[in-house]
Amino acid sequence: MRILRVIAGMNPESGGPVAGLLSSTAELAQRGHETEAVTLDPPDAPFLAACPFPVAACGARKVLPKLTYSAAFLEWIRQNAHRFDVAVIHGLWNFASVGGWRALTQAGLPYVLFSHGMMDPWFRQAYPAKHWAKQAFWLLQGRALRDAHRVLFTSEEERRLSEPVFFGYRFRGQVIAYGVAPSADDPASLERSRVAAAAAVPGLAGRPYLLYLSRIHEKKGCDLLIDAFGKVAVTAGDLQLVMAGPDHTGLVPQLRARAEKAGVAGRIHWPGMLTGDAKAGALRSARAFVLPSHQENFGIAVAEALAAGTPVLISDKVNIWREVEAAGAGLVAPDTLEGTEQLLARFLSLDPSASAALQAAARPCYDGNFSVGRAAEDLERVLTEAAATQSGPE
């Protein structure tokens, strides 16, 4: 199949959707499928050079503070849709999803749509005014879901949570496997990643640490983690905390201030976004991966930690928590300060055999639930079904 990915942007700093797209595309390529993408990125965006498949970066202009438009994006899809068998729209609430829907339907190219957790009720609770603005926008956005061959969810929890959020427009939802490719684990790669991680976070100096690896954002529960670490650090020996990820909202100074107030500023490290070998090494060497998020439709970094054989400590708002708990590959608690403190305290109180059991269960949990091979197989199946419905331009 020739597959078109429609997404607002390919910047890896935007998080899980891009990581999942790259992993599944690489696996689909091994199965003989070709992929291209069309985005709203500026044509000269530096990260585009690293994309392993053609990307038509059409650019966009702002028409309102939170709304962009791109005639070039629409025209590119209209002119090129005939070269593809099927399309995948990634995400909601942006011109890529709405403009992509309109251009694809006009061209008669069938598509599926990943919601990527963007209908989770947490957003309604956290940003009520924005939610009602989205309800108005749903007059357009809802049609993109209605006309999709399938709306794809990456967990049963995500599908369940999305159902009552917006009024009108029925759609055909389907849960499919989702995952990410593991890092290479041959001896040379392992040593290279160890060295890279040590260079990226030199302040660790070989000391044990917990790893947060995600965007620095309020929905991720970063404040809870800082405060909870401050409470357990007193009895945690020389344990350190690594807070790795890009900060697009300027939250780090506030978090540093919280760490100072809690008396643990010297034990928390802020290396920014980790990629490649440094990321792989940081995941492998951590005592545990921690994500006390308030909302996480999947959690690519959780799957990456499990693939590295590292147990995970997550909130029950990470939608794959049931799979993690059932596999015994981590611990789960509510996304509150008390819950996060208990999460860390429980992990640190484990005896060596219980700790080893968590670690031993991590990779099997990944293999059984979140492997990129299984995810690509599910996506391939639904795309084949969608491609069979191609009708031609309106």
Domain parsing of the chain, residue ranges: 2-179+373-387, 187-370
Tokens of 42: 């500026």
DSSP result, 48-103? GGG-SS-EEE---EEEETTEEE-HHHHHHHHHHGGG-SEEEEE-SSSHHHHHHHHH
Q: How many CB atoms lie within 10 A of CB 30?
A: 9
Q: What is the DSSP letter of 197?
A: H
pLDDT in tens, 356-374: 999 999 999 999 999 999 9
- Stretch 315-319: mean pLDDT: 94
Which pLDDT value is given to residue 115?
A: 87
For residue 29 the two structure tokens come to 């390529």
The pLDDT score that the predictor gives to residue 141 is 80
2-179+373-387 and 187-370 have identical folds: yes
Q: Is the pLDDT of residue 255 over 60?
A: yes
β-pair partners for 114: 90, 152
53/55 Cα distance (integer angstroms): 6
Residue 202's CB is within 10 A of a number of other CB atoms, namely 9
Percent with pLDDT over 90 in the chain: 76
Angle between helices 222-232 and 337-348 (to 10 degrees): 50
Tens digits of per-residue pLDDT, 44-84? Answer: 999 999 999 999 999 999 887 778 999 999 999 999 999 99
**Mean pLDDT for the stretch of residues 348-353:** 96
CATH code of 187-370, in short, is 3.40.50.2000
pLDDT value of position 127 = 63
Task: Give the pLDDT of residue 394.
Answer: 64
Per-residue pLDDT band for 164 (boundaries 50, 70, 90) equals low
- Residue 271 CA to residue 194 CA, distance in Å, equals 15
Other residues' Cβ atoms within 10 Å of the Cβ of residue 309: 18
Residue 167 has pLDDT above 70, yes or no: no
pLDDT at 328: 97
Q: Which pTM value belongs to this model?
A: 0.85
The mean pLDDT value for 215-233 works out to 95
Confidence grade of residue 289 (pLDDT, cut at 50, 70, 90): very high
Chosen CATH of 2-179+373-387 out of 3.40.50.300, 3.40.50.2000, 3.90.1150.10, 3.40.50.2020: 3.40.50.2000
